[in-house]
């Protein structure tokens, strides 16, 4: 059996390429175009080093997600979030692919290898890291949905506010247009302070609209308010 390991070390910033051969209970490593005997402990150390790099990558991804989550929890938005989250997801998926291939290869190797007992802890650790990687992707997807929901909510609030302004100013435009027509015997045309009356009416309509808007805003409880008030 032949096992090819290709990994990237985040510490040394170098790619590692190793080829191992297995015959009965003997392990070989390809060095200088020749397969040379390789100890089981050294082989396990190589696997552990690759796994440690994958764990470090996962820890790095988790720190990024935690920072982004804290920014959103404080009510702030993240600049170029969707583009950056796409790039981050590509990196996470690359790590996931490497872990999946490593997990599959080790399970196939352990199925017929006399070193099955020694490989079991490594296979278990790879499985845990693989599960952690999938959880990171789930967190990123949830963060993506949350960001979309926040942006949609802000847009809906803006549209709602503009709708209220339209509902207030459209009647005002009609009133101003009515009094601005060059027509005799209009309503309040002979009243001395008619302009002030119209101005007072406009202020009253604006104030009424503002009161209605604030009342509707008060009815929108925070997420935990209904539970806390019971």
For the chain, the distance separating the N- and C-terminal CA atoms, rounded to the nearest angstrom, is 66
The CA distance from 195 to 218, in Å, is 35
Fill in the DSSP letter of residue 218: H
- Alpha-carbon gap, residue 218 to 220, rounded angstroms: 5
Residue-level pLDDT at 227: 43
User: Residue 159 and residue 193: Cα distance in Å, rounded?
Assistant: 37
**Each residue of 171-217: pLDDT tens digit?**
666 666 655 555 555 555 566 666 677 678 777 877 887 787 677 66
Task: List CB contacts of 125: < 8 A, sequence separation 6 or more.
Answer: 48, 51
pLDDT for res 9: 63
- pLDDT band of 138, cuts 50, 70, 90: very high
Residue 4 CA from chain centroid, whole number: 34
pLDDT average, residue stretch 78-85: 86
């Amino acid at each position: 059996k032949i096992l090819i390991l290709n990994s990237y070390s985040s510490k040394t910033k170098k790619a590692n390429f190793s080829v191992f051969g297995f015959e009965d209970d003997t392990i070989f490593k390809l060095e200088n175009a020749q397969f040379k005997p390789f100890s089981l402990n050294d082989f396990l150390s190589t696997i552990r080093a690759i796994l440690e790099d994958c764990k470090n990558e996962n820890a790095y991804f988790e720190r990024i997600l935690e920072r982004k989550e804290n920014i959103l929890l404080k009510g702030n938005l993240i600049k170029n979030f969707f583009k950056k989250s796409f790039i981050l997801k590509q990196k996470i998926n690359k790590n996931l692919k490497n872990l999946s291939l490593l997990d599959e290869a080790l399970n196939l190797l352990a199925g017929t290898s006399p070193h099955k007992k020694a490989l079991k802890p490594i296979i278990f650790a790879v499985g845990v890291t693989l599960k952690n990687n999938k959880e990171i992707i789930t967190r990123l997807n949830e963060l993506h949905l949350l960001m979309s929901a926040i942006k949609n909510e802000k847009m809906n609030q803006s549209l709602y506010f503009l709708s209220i302004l339209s509902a207030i100013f459209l009647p005002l435009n009609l009133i101003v247009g009515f009094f601005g027509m060059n027509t005799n015997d209009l309503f309040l045309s002979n009243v001395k302070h008619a302009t002030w009356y119209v101005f007072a009416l406009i202020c009253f309509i604006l104030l009424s609209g503002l009161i209605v808007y604030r009342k509707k805003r008060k009815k929108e409880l925070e997420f935990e308010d209904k539970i806390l008030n019971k």
